[in-house]
Structure 1
């Protein structure tokens, strides 16, 4: 399978994978060592995905899963507390978003070839 179907399948898989990594990061963010491990796993997985749509899909899944738990629960409390661990986790979410957006390759620009950079020949 090649082309748009393969890209869509990979993007869907990375969306689900990002959601699972984000969910596990939320569940374990209460301990400093688990927060560090979750941050390392999150950033490593994001950097391992190719730039563009696939990295955006991973980051979108991660952010969607974590944003769900940043909202208030029906009891009135929060899963992510407003303490040092919670704010560090929120900073990690902003880092995931910034890294995904900043590494999107520009559209419409092509790289110069070796022949174009060589200059005129006489």
Structure 2
């Protein structure tokens, strides 16, 4: 019997290192900041503010994926963005609110979620090394 490598799904789950965990927490906080800033900018300068807010989220999510070299780097800022935006959608007892009930707010909410999913899907992942990684060899 040859000494074959253990399949990826059969390997035990490893916790991230302290530096990688700090990176994920930092990306989460940055995602919350970008979500709050985007909520304010998207309605202030309607067409360009909306594009700026969505471009900021895409840049942060894809940059986080590149920095972490994996999908978790895109998921961490997306989770922070989502938490901040969901908390900002609630109205206060005085009647104050951040999001108006117009099309731009819905495009920001749904477009931001779609952009986060796309960044997590297109994130670069680690590829296996060695000669036995292709089928038929």
Whole-Å Cα distance in 2 between the matches of residues 42 and 119 of structure 1?
41
Q: Deviations over 1:78-110 (max 9, x none)?
A: 31111111111121232144236545789xxx7
Instruction: State the partner residue of 1:33.
Output: 48
Matched, 1:84 2:97: no
Instruction: State the partner residue of 2:118.
Output: 99
Instruction: Give yes or no for contact 1:73–1:79 (8 Å, CA) kept in 2.
Output: no
* Unpaired stretches in structure 1, ≥5 consecutive residues: none
- Structure 1-normalised TM-score? 0.76
Give 4+ residue runs of structure 1 displaced > 6 Å after superposition.
none
Whole-Å Cα distance in 2 between the matches of residues 22 and 28 of structure 1?
10
Whole-Å Cα distance in 2 between the matches of residues 116 and 91 of structure 1?
38
Instruction: Give yes or no for contact 1:63–1:97 (8 Å, CA) kept in 2.
Output: no
Count of matched residue positions in the alignment of Structure 1 and Structure 2: 115
Instruction: State the partner residue of 1:6.
Output: 19
* Unpaired stretches in structure 2, ≥5 consecutive residues: 1-15
Matched, 1:114 2:131: yes
- Structure 2-normalised TM-score? 0.69
Whole-Å Cα distance in 2 between the matches of residues 61 and 102 of structure 1?
18
Instruction: State the partner residue of 1:73.
Output: 92
